[in-house]
Amino acid sequence: MNIVLLGAPGAGKGTQAQKLTAEFGFAHISTGDLLRGAIAAGSPLGLEAKGYMDAGQLVPDELVLSLLKERLGADDVGRGFILDGYPRNTAQAVTLDAVLRDMGKSLDAALLVAVDPAVIVDRLSRRRACRECGFTGVDSMHACPRCGGEMYQRDDDKPATIEARLDTYATKTAPLIEYFKGQDKLAEVDGQGDPDEVYVHVKEVLGL
In the complex, the residues that contact ligand ADP under the rule CB under 6 A are 9-10, 31-32, 35, 52-53, 56-59, 64, 85-86, 88, 92, 156, 165
Q: How far is the CB of 207 from ligand ADP (least distance, A)?
A: 25
Residue 146, binding choice from Zn ion, ligand ADP, none, Cβ under 5 to 8 Å by partner class:
Zn ion
Q: Identify which of residues 74 and 133 has a Cβ nearer to Zn ion in the complex.
A: 133
Quick one: 94 or 143, whose CB is closer to Zn ion? 143
Q: Does 135 bind Zn ion (CB under 5 A)?
A: yes
Look at residue 92 and give the partner it binds from ligand ADP, Zn ion, none, a contact being a CB closer than 5 to 8 Å depending on partner kind. ligand ADP
Active site residue 128: no
Active site residue 13: yes
Torsion, CA 88, CA 27, CA 37, CA 52, rounded to 10: 0
Choose the catalytic residue: 71, 123, 127, 128. Answer: 127
In angstroms, give the least distance from the CB of 98 to ligand ADP: 15
203 counts as catalytic: no
Q: What minimum distance in Å lies between the beta carbon of 54 and Zn ion? A: 23
- How far is the CA of 90 from the CAs of 126, 129, 142, 175, in angstroms? 30, 28, 38, 8
Active site residue 123: no
For Zn ion, what does the binding mask look like between residues 146 and 185, x meaning CB under 5 A? xx-x------------------------------------
Work out the widest C-alpha separation in the chain, in whole angstroms.
Answer: 44
Query: Is 127 marked active-site?
Result: yes
Stretch near Zn ion under the rule CB under 5 A, chosen from 13-21, 119-127, 141-149, 195-203: 141-149
- Length of the chain (residues): 208
Q: Which residues are catalytic?
A: 13, 88, 127, 154, 165
